[in-house]
Each structure stands twice: as C-alpha cells, then as structure tokens.
Amino acid sequence: MKKTALQKNIFTTYLLFIGICIGAEIAVGALVASVIFFPGAYLGDGVLSHFQSGILMTQIFLRFNILLIVCTFFIAVYEVYSYFIKNHDFISVVILFVVLAGVLAFVLYFTPYILEAQKMGAQATSTKEFKDIHSFSELVIKIVLIGQIALFFRRVLIELK
C-alpha cells in the first residue's frame, strides 16, 4: 500500500521524537552528568560539593523530564494508532508499555523523591535508601533508552518491508 505524504511526515516525526529522546538521554546521562559530578577536573577542587552538583543535575533533569513527557506522549499516540489502524504489532505495544512505565516512574516517582531528599539537605542524600533509589532510577532510564532504541529499529524495519 502506497503511503501518503501525511503518513510519511507523521512517521518521520515519530522517528524524530524517538531520536530526540535517545539523544537527550545519552547526552544527559553520559555527557552532562560526568561533568556536573566531577567539576574539580575542570575548575579545580572545592568548587562544588557532591550535593551541590546533585542539585544542578536535578535542575537539568527537571527540564529533561518535560522533553521526555512530550516526546513519549507523541510516541505513544503513534504506537496506539499503528496498532489499531495499521499493523497490530503486539511486540511494539509491549515495548511501548515498558517505555511508558519507565518514563512515568522516572518523572512521577524518582524525580520527586530526589527533590524531596535534596530539600532535607546533604545528609538525606547520603543515606543507603537514597543511593539505592537513585541507582534504581538510573537503571529505569537505561531500560527506557533500550526500549526506545528497540521501538526505533522495529518501526524502521516494519516500514522497510
């Protein structure tokens, strides 16, 4: 079946949104965090404490969360549309639910938890509970990233058939 220009544009926009999410997650996680949490390597020792670096990183994640929600909403709309109207790809729907669950957990649970701990001060962010939850949030965002990569390639491969 021949695709209309509108269908091609919507598909391209879908891939763009997934690409934006993937790129932003890699940039924030691998590039920005390594600089923010180790400012001594660039500015000398004693510039920022680990707690202060965490506050800066949280501000970056608050902005990132907005991008993540907007992009994920569009991705979800496209995937639901594709499932019911186009090709009933159950695997993509399962991956979408993993991505959605991860994004919602990251934005609605992990980020507020970290913000609350930061309000209580540096001591609250050095507990085992905080470190465990923070580590789990990192794992969740990595699972989201893998899911988004899987959706990207799955859709491209389906489209090329």
The string of pLDDT tens digits covering residues 30-72 is 999 999 999 988 888 888 999 999 999 999 999 999 999 999 9
pLDDT at residue number 107: 98
pLDDT at 7: 86
Secondary structure letter of residue 124 according to DSSP? G
Q: What SS3 state is found at 89?
A: coil
Mean pLDDT, residues 70-76? 96
Work out the number of other CB atoms within 10 angstroms of the CB of residue 141. 21
74 — pLDDT class (breaks 50, 70, 90): very high
What's the pLDDT tens digit per position in 87-127?
Answer: 788 999 999 999 999 999 999 999 999 999 999 999 999 99
48: Cα within 13 Å, side-chain hemisphere: 17
For the chain, what are the domain ranges? 5-160
Q: How far apart, in whole angstroms, are the C-alpha atoms of residue 17 and residue 4?
A: 20
